[in-house]
Amino acid sequence: MRNILVTMMYDGKGFHGWQVQRNAVTVQEVFQNALYQILGEKTDIKGCSRTDSGVHANMYCVSFHTEHRIPCGRLPAALNGWLPKSVSVLSAREVDDDFHARYSCLGKEYIYKIWNAPSRNPFLDGYALHYWYKLDEERMNRAARYFLGTHDFTSFCTLDRSREKGDFQRTVRQLSITHSGDLVTVKIEADGFLYNMVRIIVGTLLEVSQGRIEPDEIPAIIDALDRSRAGATAPPEGLYLNRVCYRFSEDQGTK
């Protein structure tokens, strides 16, 4: 039995997130169907994250066990032959038997794209939030510093019936706001993320930019452990899972 790690990227605009759902097309569904065409067996696929409807991935990882002997070097092209154009497999490699795409993950990096201009950009429809109010990056970056470090991020998590209160402590390693022309990018790296955590942080930073929240109010919002104290949840279309970190290096190649 082999344990295979597959790295892919996908355009989430036409999908209802990663996880299989009834009466909705998801990335996991199309990947499972493509994998079945190649392996001829149903496999238990472990995804590195449960991205929501409309969220994209520049890097997404899945792992699965199989007895099939197809070389890892051939697997990306074989999968891409069955996948829609909105999903592309980049690499495949054998990993240790106990490797798990989600639980072996040491951290993730997300980016959130904002088109900050009076007029919308039709080429970014579904790929960046159109935000026409002028952003105050200096205020946003001052607020961003307070998120760094280890905190309980209950105030920045959406709770639903499938997500009960648990250990909401996470360590944010990096949070920055940069721009190139009218395109503003928020980048955040942490050892893990709660449900909607990035989108709520972005929504809060937008309210900081507008002056509704002061940068030095962020510590009190974190300490409150109260979702109602933070800003609104930013829309999904600007969010990308950008990088997934494991103990081994991607330059080790495939087996």
Cβ-based burial of 16 (10 A; exposed 0-12, middle 13-18, buried ≥19): middle
> CA-CA distance, 255 to 246, in Å (whole number)?
17
What is this structure's pTM?
Answer: 0.93
> CA-CA distance, 6 to 91, in Å (whole number)?
6
Of residues 184, 111, 187, the one with CA closest to residue 144? 187
E-only strand ranges, 96-148? 107-115, 129-130
Give the pLDDT band (50/70/90) at residue 21: confident
Q: Which domains does the chain have, with CATH numbers?
A: 2-104 (3.30.70.580), 107-242 (3.30.70.660)
**What is the model's pLDDT at position 253?**
39
**What is the model's pLDDT at position 164?**
57
> CA-CA distance, 185 to 142, in Å (whole number)?
16
Partner residues linked to 66 by β-bridges:
2
For 136-172, write each residue's pLDDT tens digit: 999 999 999 999 999 999 999 998 655 556 789 999 9
Candidates 11, 44, 52, 152; catalytic one: 52
| Range with the poorest average pLDDT among 23-37, 108-122, 153-167 | 153-167
The answer to whether 52 is a known catalytic residue is yes
Give the pLDDT band (50/70/90) at residue 248: confident
**What is the model's pLDDT at position 152?**
97
